[in-house]
C-alpha cells in the first residue's frame, strides 16, 4: 500500500507535469544537446558505452510489475532502459509512446536469470533485447530522467 502511494506521489509530482504533453519521470534533464535518434544508438550501442547521452525513440515494452524498466525499439533492434536504482517509476501503459531518456549506456554480460525475470514482467515477449544479441554481451541504458509523450492519435493534427 505504501509503495503504491509512493509511486502515485512520484507520478503526480510537479516535476512530472512537463509541458507540451510530455510527462517527466525522475531527474530533470541536464544535457542540452538535441537527442540522439534511437536508430543511431541501436545501430552501434558500443560507441556510446560508458557515456551519458540523451536519446529519443519509441517505447516497445514497459515493466508491468512496477514500471522500473522499458524497452526502446526500432525495427528489429532494441535496448533495455532501467530506471537508476529504482528511484523512480514510469507509467505501465506507455507502450507506443515516444520517450526522451537521459542516462548512461552500459554493457554487461547476459544473465539468464535476469532475462527470465524481465520476460515475466513483459507484455511484448517478441522484443527482449537480451535475446536479440548474437553474443553474451548486451547494452542497456540506465536512466536518470525520462520524458514521455503519448502516441499521436488519428484525430490529432
pLDDT tens string 108-126: 999 999 999 999 999 999 9
Model's pTM, two decimal places?
0.84
DSSP secondary structure, 22-77, as one string: -EEEESPP---SPPEEHHHHHH-GGGGTT-EEEEEEEEEEE-SSSS-EEEEEETTE
Given this model, what pLDDT does residue 10 score? 45
Which residues, 6+ apart, have CB-to-CB distance to 32 below 8 Å? Answer: none
Question: In the numeric block, which cell numbers belong to residue 112?
Answer: 539468464
The CATH H-level superfamily of 2-149 is Nucleic acid-binding proteins (2.40.50.140)
Per residue in 19-65, pLDDT tens? Answer: 579 999 999 999 999 999 999 999 999 999 999 999 999 999 999 99
**pLDDT given for residue 157 in this prediction:** 40
Looking at the chain, how many residues does it have? 157
Number of neighbours of residue 112 by Cβ within 10 angstroms: 8
Q: For the chain, what are the domain ranges? A: 2-149
Amino acid at each position: 500500500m505504501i509503495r503504491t502511494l509512493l509511486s502515485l506521489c512520484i507520478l503526480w509530482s510537479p516535476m512530472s507535469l512537463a509541458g507540451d504533453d510530455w510527462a517527466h519521470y525522475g531527474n530533470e534533464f541536464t544535457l542540452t544537446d538535441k537527442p540522439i535518434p534511437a536508430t543511431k544508438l541501436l545501430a552501434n550501442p558500443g560507441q556510446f558505452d560508458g557515456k551519458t547521452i540523451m536519446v529519443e525513440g519509441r517505447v516497445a515494452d514497459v515493466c508491468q510489475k512496477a514500471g522500473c524498466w522499458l524497452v526502446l525499439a526500432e525495427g528489429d533492434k532494441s535496448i533495455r532502459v532501467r530506471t537508476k536504482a529504482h528511484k523512480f517509476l514510469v507509467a505501465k501503459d506507455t507502450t507506443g509512446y515516444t520517450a526522451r531518456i537521459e542516462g548512461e549506456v552500459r554493457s554487461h554480460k547476459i544473465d539468464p536469470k535476469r532475462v527470465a525475470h524481465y520476460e515475466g514482467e513483459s507484455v511484448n515477449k517478441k522484443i527482449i533485447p537480451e535475446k536479440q544479441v548474437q553474443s553474451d554481451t548486451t547494452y542497456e541504458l540506465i536512466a536518470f530522467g525520462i520524458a514521455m509523450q503519448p502516441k499521436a492519435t488519428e484525430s490529432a493534427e
